Structure 1
Amino acid sequence: MENKTFIENVKLLLQMHAEGLLGGEIMPEDALIGIVPKDDLMNVLTLGMALNYQRNSYKLWESVAQAYLDKSSRWIFNPKVVSESNLDELRSILVYYRVALQPNRHPEIWQRVSKGITQSSQRGDVIGLIESAQFDIAILKSIMEINRKPEFPYLSGPKIFNYWLYAMEAYTGVCWRSRELITIAPDTHILKASVNLGLCSSEVLDGSSDNRQVVAKSWEKALIDSELSPIDVHTPLWLWSRAGFPPLSV
């Protein structure tokens, strides 16, 4: 497919999304809206995202919202408090609300990420981490994907890291420097949609790390000079796949 035709199809998909024609407008993280105040949203989104790996995203965020509603358990979303907490107490809450599905590994990751946030920020929270990186994605990538990678399991992977950047922008209003560095977050729906649009061959559907990188790089290349960033098409592609790929028309 010629790139001009491809870009026209992408823009048509964006228009369908803007006009509400893709259905499923409720995104998983929307479960936090009206429950988590803006002051806590960065911490909640970040810690919840750290466990968003090969599981039902809607159920994860519903569980996170329920845990936050319980004032006695709300401390689990404070990175500084969590980093100094008793792991068994943390585990009991995360497992009770089914935020953690793996009773050993998930609470350990939650606490490790909390320590990573605390140690990377004078404030001890996510906004402090972002401020320490001067809102620059290049610096943040260096911190989370290289210098402190062991402290950010899952979250430092390209799929979740890039979606986390997008979620920070979409839900908390962060204005990133080097926004063009946010690549598309190639989950299963993005892989399917990319194949359906003719951007990639069906070989990428096996979901290997290499093939996810192929898809991400393909989107970067395809959108050069289009005035679109790869992350701009993430939600429309995701919803298009979930809707069963309705024809591109408005």
Structure 2
Amino acid sequence: MHAGGLLGGEVMPEDALINVVKEDELLDVLTLAMALNYQRNSYSLWESVVKAYQDPKTSWIFNPIVVATKDIHELREALLLHRVGLQPNRHPDIWQRVAKGIVHSSEQGNVQGLIESVEFDNLLLKEIMQGSRKTEFPYLSGPKIFNYWLYVLECYAKVSWKSRELISIAPDTHILKATVKLGLCTEEVLIGSGDDRIAVANAWIKALAGSGLASIDVHTPLWLWSRAGFPPLTVT
């Protein structure tokens, strides 16, 4: 039904980068921007990212090596110029901390090097980013954004993960609502606590067991369906 365009649309926020960002820079752009992809309109974020990427005055913000050593005041001005960052203190700090985390984790100083250092093993990457070096990857290390980040890198940058079947659905507000709508969880999970999100993620793992699908595979259809206000699930 998703493939047939019956769930409310097929354009995702990250589609704004297609045919805009260079292939060898895509991993860095996706990763740095996704560290700010929470509690805001995702479409607006990626539109701002495109503007900043195309502007010679601000394109450097997507280079982890440059960002890691840049004066925080310069970084703040660049992030706010096209509204990539909205919070003048918090967002530049997060952006620079993630950039430093990437540089410290990779000989090449970029996301490609970080992924290669774990030999495309998403479980090992999870241990690093959610465990031993969690403080270097604020928000990106959170279970919601981390799993969706893995999925986005797969979809847009063609990263092939060793254990993709273990990539959990990213239980944001739309996924919570869609899960309740389909009866997999009760309305209590709509409170959105950490335990609620874990319950939703586990519900999808159980529901899709033996189907050949990873739970992250249903993220986009559910997200679009919820965002569109749940158009009826009828096949025409």
Question: Would you say same fold, with TM above 0.5?
Answer: yes
CA distance in 1, matches of 2:4, 2:110: 37
2:112 alignment counterpart: 127
SS of 1:71 mapped into structure 2: coil
Q: What is the CA distance between 1:137 and its match in structure 2?
A: 0.7
Which structure 2 residues correspond to residues 105-120 of structure 1 after superposition, within 5 A?
Answer: 105-120=90-105
Q: Quick check: 1:237 aligned with 2:222?
A: yes
SS of 1:200 mapped into structure 2: coil
C-alpha contact 2:67 2:99 (8 A) present in aligned 1: yes
- Runs (5+) with no aligned partner, structure 1: 1-15
TM-score, length-scaled by structure 2: 0.98
Q: Quick check: 1:170 aligned with 2:170?
A: no
TM-score, length-scaled by structure 1: 0.92
RMSD of equivalent CA atoms:
0.8
Alignment deviations for residues 108-129 of structure 1 (CA, whole Å, 9 cap, x no partner)? 1100000000000011000100
Which of 202-211 and 16-25 deviates more? 16-25
Q: What is the CA distance between 1:30 and its match in structure 2?
A: 1.0
C-alpha contact 2:165 2:213 (8 A) present in aligned 1: no
C-alpha contact 2:8 2:231 (8 A) present in aligned 1: no
Instruction: Give the aligned residue type for 1:180.
Output: E
1:35 alignment counterpart: 20
Which structure 2 residues correspond to residues 1-250 of structure 1 after superposition, within 5 A?
Answer: 16-250=1-235
SS of 1:31 mapped into structure 2: helix
CA distance in 2, matches of 1:204, 1:23: 23
CA distance in 2, matches of 1:87, 1:224: 47
- Runs (5+) with no aligned partner, structure 2: none
CA distance in 2, matches of 1:143, 1:170: 22
CA distance in 1, matches of 2:85, 2:194: 24
Instruction: Give the aligned residue type for 2:108.
Output: R
Report runs of 4+ in structure 1 exceeding 3 Å deviation.
none
Q: What is the CA distance between 1:24 and its match in structure 2?
A: 2.6
CA distance in 2, matches of 1:237, 1:158: 18
CA distance in 2, matches of 1:228, 1:73: 40
CA distance in 1, matches of 2:233, 2:6: 10
Q: What is the CA distance between 1:244 and its match in structure 2?
A: 1.7
CA distance in 2, matches of 1:46, 1:194: 27
CA distance in 1, matches of 2:32, 2:149: 10
Q: Number of paired residues?
A: 235
Alignment deviations for residues 3-57 of structure 1 (CA, whole Å, 9 cap, x no partner)? xxxxxxxxxxxxx101112233211111111211111110000000001111111
Q: Work out the percentage of aligned pairs sharing the same amino acid.
A: 68
CA distance in 2, matches of 1:87, 1:248: 49
CA distance in 2, matches of 1:55, 1:213: 22
Instruction: Give the aligned residue type for 1:158.
Output: P
CA distance in 2, matches of 1:176, 1:244: 33
Q: What is the CA distance between 1:165 and its match in structure 2?
A: 0.3
